[in-house]
Structure 1
Amino acid sequence: MALVVFLENVGHIHGVNLPNWVMTVIDWVTEEYAKLLLRLLGAYRRYHRIVILEDEAATAANLTGALIDVSATHTVDQLLLVHGQNRCLIGYKGRELVDAAAFDRLLARYIEDNSLLDLRMVYGLNCYGASLASTWLALGAQAVNGAQGVNWLPEPSLSLFLRKWLAGSPFSEAVGCSARRARAIGKCLWQDRADGSEHPNIAGSRQIVYGQRDVTINSVSGPAVTAQFSHVQSAAAARPQLATNRELTTPD
């Protein structure tokens, strides 16, 4: 088993204009924190190989290359520790994008040869992660999560997810538990509105789990199931879901 980590914080906070030096500090601290979590929580004991694409290595070409290269010898899990837009991951300095065109090129290659990739799970903190769910499923991933909108709760979501996942919990359970606890903390900051509706920062951070089947870190990769996907445009197309054939939103 291998883990590919796409890691680039940029230092950006949604809706906030920060001086460059502050963004640089945030970028460095958050990336070092993520790498420290992997070591402290035992990722290097559970995976045979870990590839981290950070800073200038966080590009579409490098992500595509890493997924293909590592899939040749290992079943691959992914962590997407980056910002995101609709069907897009934001890479190095916010200038490098893994956009719809990059995903479509990779998907076209995979449709021609489904031995190209051996993906199992994709866990992402990226904003609008749900918009990429059907793309990852089409590329053969077994289980995927994604935020509905802007994700304001990257922590404690990441550390809680990793703790559960690396300990052997099913993907849906690890995502659900981490999301529920993160939302509970978030609601202390962003309380429900007077009409009972959620604060937009909480609503946008809601996680959805998609998949062909639930998996654990010990699961053997299942067969590719991408023949049904000829073109993927949005998460709405990702209808084969975990166990129930539908999206599993994380409950409160």
Structure 2
Amino acid sequence: MVVFLENVGHIHGVNLPNWVMTVIDWVTEEYAKLLLRLLGAYRRYHRIVILEDEAATAANLTGALIDVSATHTVDQLLLVHGQNRCLIGYKGRELVDAAAFDRLLARYIEDNSLLDLRMVYGLNCYGASLASTWLALGAQAVNGAQGVNWLPEPSLSLFLRKWLAGSPFSEAVGCSARRARAIGKCLWQDRADGSEHPNIAGSRQIVYGQRDVTINSVSGPAVTAQFSHVQSAAAARPQLATNRELTTPD
């Protein structure tokens, strides 16, 4: 597993003192790492690489995905802020932008054994804008928010609990999104005309790709923590051409 982790301490639309942002950054990142341990990620994966703080850069993300793909099927968590087709890394200064993704995609097109991605779960805002990119890079299943994602928790903990227990990706994303939205609607109620509050609408999750992929699925030439046999990339990759989009229901 590769975890891209950088909170920055930013809250959309809110100007905070630097010390408050520093505290939020530290607390949220430590919380995410604690979740991985408490929910059993280290028992399900042979290797977990966490890119946080100054390590949260485009170059390091590219390097980690390639390095781990050489020996394992990679699941990825994107616990960062985002913009349209962009991940925000260290202190908001390091960006994994369209140019960085295009460079990685060019390398992957030349050699599709470079990456062995299975699922990409992201809390980043505008995550849906990167779905086609991750699928093009070989990921079997991807989720993404339509706009600004105001519901990172309890979405993350609920997703991890289901995913690590073996639930299909779409089920894990859907269950976590529905429960998070129910909580969110207690804070941001529907408008008088019946439309959703923008914070709820923007947080809506969409699932792309192979919806029934699980932590037990073998996707390519590498091995997962649960499997020792090998399935060729040639047998697995053609399935990725079909993009089945699922919007999580209420």
TM-score (norm: length of structure 2): 0.91
1:27-49 residue CA offsets vs partner (Å, 9 max, x unmatched): 00000000000000000000000
Q: Where does the alignment leave 5 or more consecutive residues of structure 1 unmatched?
A: none
1:247 is displaced (CA, Å) by 1.3
**CA pair 194-236 structure 1, distance change in 2 beyond 3 A:** farther
Distance 2:232 2:125 in 1: 14
Preserved CA contact (<8 Å) 2:145 2:206: yes
**CA pair 236-172 structure 1, distance change in 2 beyond 3 A:** farther
**CA pair 211-5 structure 1, distance change in 2 beyond 3 A:** same
Distance 1:47 1:229 in 2: 11
Distance 1:230 1:46 in 2: 14
Match of 2:239 among 236, 241, 246: 241
1:66-118 residue CA offsets vs partner (Å, 9 max, x unmatched): 00011001100000000000000000000000000000000000000000000
Match of 2:116 among 112, 115, 118: 118
SS in structure 1 of the partner of residue 15 of structure 2: coil
**CA pair 236-249 structure 1, distance change in 2 beyond 3 A:** farther
Preserved CA contact (<8 Å) 2:131 2:144: yes
**CA pair 242-110 structure 1, distance change in 2 beyond 3 A:** closer
Preserved CA contact (<8 Å) 2:76 2:121: yes
SS in structure 2 of the partner of residue 33 of structure 1: helix
Aligned-residue Cα RMSD (Å) equals: 6.2
1:137 is displaced (CA, Å) by 0.1
**CA pair 13-234 structure 1, distance change in 2 beyond 3 A:** farther
Match of 2:128 among 110, 127, 130: 130
Aligned residue pairs, count: 250
Q: Where does the alignment leave 5 or more consecutive residues of structure 2 unmatched?
A: none
Distance 2:130 2:224 in 1: 15
1:214 is displaced (CA, Å) by 2.4
Preserved CA contact (<8 Å) 1:53 1:62: yes
1:239 is displaced (CA, Å) by 15
Preserved CA contact (<8 Å) 1:132 1:234: no
The residue that corresponds to 2:84 in the other structure is 86
Distance 2:99 2:230 in 1: 11
SS in structure 2 of the partner of residue 186 of structure 1: helix
Preserved CA contact (<8 Å) 2:162 2:172: yes
Preserved CA contact (<8 Å) 1:134 1:232: no
1:243 is displaced (CA, Å) by 12
**CA pair 234-251 structure 1, distance change in 2 beyond 3 A:** farther
Q: What percent identity do the matched residue pairs reach?
A: 100
Preserved CA contact (<8 Å) 1:165 1:216: yes
SS in structure 1 of the partner of residue 48 of structure 2: strand
1:246 is displaced (CA, Å) by 3.4
SS in structure 2 of the partner of residue 10 of structure 1: coil
Distance 1:89 1:218 in 2: 28
1:1-46 residue CA offsets vs partner (Å, 9 max, x unmatched): xx00000000000000000000000000000000000000000000
Distance 2:13 2:236 in 1: 30
Tell which deviates more after alignment, 160-169 or 226-235.
226-235
1:230 is displaced (CA, Å) by 33
Preserved CA contact (<8 Å) 2:116 2:221: no
Distance 2:104 2:9 in 1: 28
**CA pair 75-242 structure 1, distance change in 2 beyond 3 A:** closer
1:156 is displaced (CA, Å) by 0.1
1:229 is displaced (CA, Å) by 29
1:212 is displaced (CA, Å) by 3.6
Tell which deviates more after alignment, 63-72 or 221-230.
221-230
Structure 1 runs (4+) greater than 4 angstroms displaced: 222-245
SS in structure 2 of the partner of residue 225 of structure 1: coil
